Amino acid sequence: MRVHGDKIIKRRSEIKKKSDYHDYLPELREDFQYMCGYCGKLEEITRNAFEIDHFVPKKYDKSRKNDYSNLVYSCYVCNRKKSSKWPSGNAKIQFVNENGFVDPALREYDKHLERKSDGSIYGKTKTGKYMEEAFEFRWRPIREIWQIMQLVKKKKLLREKMQTLQSDEMKDYIAMDGLLEELEKIMFENKE
């Protein structure tokens, strides 16, 4: 399964140039479908604000600081894990011995990283394994986050259904909703 599930991330190509990359936030949120480009976490299930990552770090290419095609909508954790990592140290060289990063807005991203059915993310290639380690996917509650995201989707559907049910039938749904709220609280307290 894809890291981003059924959502396709694609930056718009026609965008008005802005003098400060922070001003691109509304467009990035929309283009990245309100999820982290790197781990696929939805912004609605996290306590920490999402951020703008420079795919090629500013440290290595200051000229791309406000280049929309170089910006990634990222959760707080992925942005901190990637930071200014760039194996080659040269903006024009993306990989060194297959170590490096793949832009999550490109289809190529799916060739390197994949999500297992339990929600965990693993590298399918040497580059994917490099990214898996760089983002520390194995050590983070990625699987649990994915499961919560799936439960949140189901919860929305259940709430819609609850509107049409008789009050006795609603008890089971309300109990499940309470359990989900508790799980969400646990995840938020862990600040992931």
Mean pLDDT by 10 residues, the chain (192 residues): 95 94 97 97 87 97 97 97 96 96 97 96 98 97 91 81 69 74 70 56
Asked if 108 and 173 sit in the same domain, the reply is no
Alpha carbons 82 and 101: distance in angstroms, whole number: 9
Asked if 98 and 44 sit in the same domain, the reply is yes
Asked if 118 and 99 sit in the same domain, the reply is yes
Q: Which domain range does residue 29 map to?
A: 21-140
Phi then psi for residue 128, to 5 deg, are: -60, -40
pLDDT at 168: 66
pLDDT at 72: 98
Alpha carbons 112 and 127: distance in angstroms, whole number: 6
Q: Which residues does residue 122 pair with via DSSP β-bridges, in sequence order? A: 114
Alpha carbons 156 and 151: distance in angstroms, whole number: 9
pLDDT at 63: 96
The residue whose two tokens read 């990035």 is 28
Asked if 122 and 59 sit in the same domain, the reply is yes
* Within-domain flag for 126: yes
Residue 174: both structure tokens together: 């309300």
Phi then psi for residue 65, to 5 deg, are: -55, -40
* Within-domain flag for 163: yes
pLDDT at 166: 65
* Within-domain flag for 4: no
Backbone φ/ψ region at 20: left (φ over 0), alpha (ψ -120 to 50), beta: beta
Asked if 52 and 96 sit in the same domain, the reply is yes
pLDDT at 32: 98
Asked if 39 and 106 sit in the same domain, the reply is yes
**Structural domain count of the chain:** 2
